Structure formats: structure tokens, C-alpha cells
Amino acid sequence: MLLDLGPDVLEVVAEYMDVRSVLQLAATTRLLHTAVAASTVLWEALCVRDFRIAPQAFPRATAQWATLYRRMHAPIVLTWGVGSNGRLGPGGGHTTVDRPRAIDTSGLGKVARITCSGFGMHALTQDGCIWFWGSFNGYGSHDRLRVPVDEPCRSLSSGRTHGCALGDSGAAYAWTESRQVSVVQCNSATDAPVVDVVAGWSHVAVLFANGAVKTRHVNDLGTMALQAAEQLPLDDDRAVQVVAGADFTAVVTDAGHVFLWRQSPMHLERLNDDSGRPIVATHATACYQTLSIFNSRTNSVRSYVVTSTDLKDVTPATLASLGVCKVTHGDWHSGVLTSTGHVWTWGNGSAALGTGNHGSRGVPTPTQVTIGLENLFVFDIGFGGWHSAALAVAL
């Protein structure tokens, strides 16, 4: 009877099994081996489920999912860029590093995701704990600080001076530091289930399952849970992802359309191409003044500089041939992760590019980061401020 099920159904069934059971099932017949053990879709889902990696981050073109799954038990964290405030990690000192350098995170646990704030970094471990190093506001430093969220978390986002996360229970949390790190819940019991929570440059945005949103400035996070959510005027579309930058917020809908607003979600605008047709996206990223949208079906990427009145397409032409699966941005530098586990960077010529010391010269063309990433397969990247980070496994 099991053999009568299609491959798609078998993949869903296998997601509810532990990995040992999946492999035992796959060993029973050639058909099940093809449908289960060799399914890249399944192994991607298992990596997300068991190791809390970002769903949009992991390279989709690799045929070695089972091997990568095993190596997820020993992730490697690499950082580079400006080293002030200890932002490059535990034991990293304050020295600027212009090539990727592995740091010791054994005291934190196995890292699943890493994001960069304006002066530091957040890390989410495979057991759902959140750690921070560097500085929240540019003054002083933390070698490593456990963010006191009351439950394991499954997503993580960094703003300039704050962070936020989605807990396993579905609660949205945000935090910043005054005299100490203070964590607040962003949703209330009467809100719809939370789909996504992200940190912009100076605000937090929460997206709910009914398509409503809340946004709040970092200085007013304490009352965000009491704030009424606003329903987005999207007609037949429903928002499924939210991203945020400096004074702008954007959503991706279930139809693949991208809508952006600056001050009020009631005044959103749809992103269109030059002929007026909607740009189609599967997910988006944002940081500071940059918004990038990505279509995984066509492996196409578009990056925009967002100002108070305008959007300017700043997509490097060479991205089209790289097989991009994730785009990330710092204040003035950008990077992509490719489906082959490689990292390419461009922008301000600081050490944050990871390709050496360029002085004050900008690097307008994406350049592959090679030194420091030898014999590694990078599965996630995060940029912010004037610094960068990557997660990798050994080949």
C-alpha cells in the first residue's frame, strides 16, 4: 500500500519520522530509496526541522543532502570585517579581519543561524538558544551574552541596535539594551498566529497569519503587544513574508508579489518591472537602505536602494549567472550565497567584503570569497554594519 503513494506524499510522511526510520524505510525497496533517500526536497526539510537552519538560506542545487545532514552536527562559524566592540565573536578581540576566520563557538552550542546587527552579531543554536556578542549601541562590548528568551526559538533577525525572534510556541519576541538586555513579547493572546517577525534598521515588524501586520519603533517595543494589528489592503493577495530596512517595510504575498511601504501600511505600493507587470518573488531580504527580492524558480535576483521617495535598481549584472540562493546586506556592502555553497561580495571596499584590504576603494562587481573558505561548504551568510558572518560545514 505504501508503494501506491506518490513521491510527494512519501516525502510528507517521511518528515514526521526520525532520520534513522527514514533510512530504514528507504532501504526496503529501490522505489522508496528513490522517493525518499534521494529526495533533495525531503533532506532540505529535515535539515530545517532538525537543525533550525533558515529555509531560504540552504543551497538547493546540491545532490549531497544526506552527507550535508550528517555534517550539520559540526557547523563552523566564520566572521570578518571591522573588529571594534568585539563584534567578530568570542575571543576574536577588536582587530579588523579582512578574510573569513573561524571562531570558537563551543561555549555556545552548535550554531544554526547567524545575523549581524549594527555593532555585533546574534547566533541561534540548534537547541533554540540565542546568543549575542559585540555591542548593541556601539559602546562597550559583550564577549558572549545569552539573550534571556523564555523558550527555544526558530527564527532570528537583527536590527541596528536590537534583535527579534519567533519562539517555538509561536510568540514573537524583541529585545534591546538599556542598562541590561530587556526582552518583550510583540504579540498578544488575541492576535492571529505569528507568521514572521523581523528587525528593521530602527523598528520591528510582525506578520500574522490573517495577513495583518504590526510595526513598532525600537524605542517603543514595550507596548507593541497591546498595539492593534493592521490589515494590509492587498485585495486577493495574502502576505506570507515580511522584511524591513531603514524607514521601510515590505511583504511578499502568496501570489509572489512584493509590496512596500514607508510610513503607513495603508499606503503600500507594488513593485513592478519596466513594463508595469508585477515582479514575482519567492522571498526577500532587507537591510538599511537595500531591498533584495529573489525568485527561486528562476534563480533571479533584484536589489534596490530604497529612499524616502524612490527605488533604484542596483542589481549587479553578473548575479544572473551565479545560481544565487540568498542575498544579504550590511550598511554599505552586500553578498550572495550560491547553490554551490560559495560566497560572492561587493560594495564598500572595507574588510567586510572578505576579499582583502581594498582601502577606501569600492568593489562594484561581485567577487568570490575564496581565502578562508577553502574546503568548506557555506550554507548561510549574514551581513550587517561593517562586518560579515558565514556558517559552513567541512567538505
Domain identity same for 169 and 245: yes
On the CB side of 258, CA atoms within 13 Å amount to 26
Q: Are residues 85 and 108 in the same domain?
A: yes
pLDDT recorded at residue 32: 77
Regarding beta strands 97-102 and 283-287, do their DSSP bridges make them parallel or antiparallel, or are they unpaired? unpaired
Domain-located, residue 344: yes
Same domain, 129 and 44: no
Backbone angles phi, psi at 46, to 5 degrees: -65, -35
Residues 215 and 278 in one domain: yes
Q: What is the CA radius of gyration of the chain?
A: 20
Counted residue by residue, the chain has a size of: 395
The answer to whether position 1 is within a domain reads no
pLDDT given at position 61: 54
Do 54 and 181 lie in one domain? The reply is no
For residues 168 and 83, state if they share a domain.
yes
pLDDT in tens, the chain (395 residues): 455 566 677 677 777 888 888 888 888 888 777 777 777 778 878 888 899 988 765 555 555 667 788 889 999 999 999 999 999 998 778 899 999 999 999 999 999 999 999 999 999 999 999 999 999 999 999 999 999 999 999 999 999 999 999 999 999 999 999 778 999 999 999 999 999 999 999 999 999 999 999 999 999 999 999 999 999 999 889 999 999 999 999 999 999 999 999 989 999 999 998 899 999 999 999 999 999 999 888 878 999 999 988 999 999 999 988 988 889 999 999 999 998 899 999 998 789 999 998 877 889 999 999 999 999 999 999 999 999 999 999 98
In a shared domain, residues 54 and 160: no
Beta bridge partners of 318: none
Residues 147 and 14 reside in one and the same domain: no
For the stretch 250-258, contacts whose Cβ atoms lie closer than 8 Å and that sit 24 or more positions apart, written own/partner, are: 250/284, 250/286, 250/291, 251/207, 251/213, 252/281, 252/282, 252/283, 252/284, 252/293, 256/280, 256/281, 256/282, 256/295, 257/281, 258/284, 258/293
User: For residue 46, is it within any domain?
Assistant: yes
Identify whether residues 240 and 301 lie together within a single domain.
Answer: yes
Task: List the domain range (segments joined by +) for residue 351.
Answer: 68-394
Domain identity same for 52 and 84: no
What CATH number should be reported for the domain holding residue 249?
A: 2.130.10.30
* 325, part of any domain: yes
Does residue 29 lie in a domain region?
Answer: yes
CA angle, 362 as apex, 358 and 367 as ends, to 5°? 75
Residue 2: inside a domain: no
Segment 208-222, tens digit of pLDDT: 999 999 999 999 999
Are residues 247 and 390 both part of a single domain? yes
C-alpha–C-alpha distance, residues 256 and 263, integer Å: 23
Model confidence over 92-113: pLDDT tens digits? 788 999 999 999 999 999 999 9
Number of domains present in the structure of the chain: 2
Tell me: do 13 and 77 sit in the same domain. no
Residue 255 lies in a domain: yes
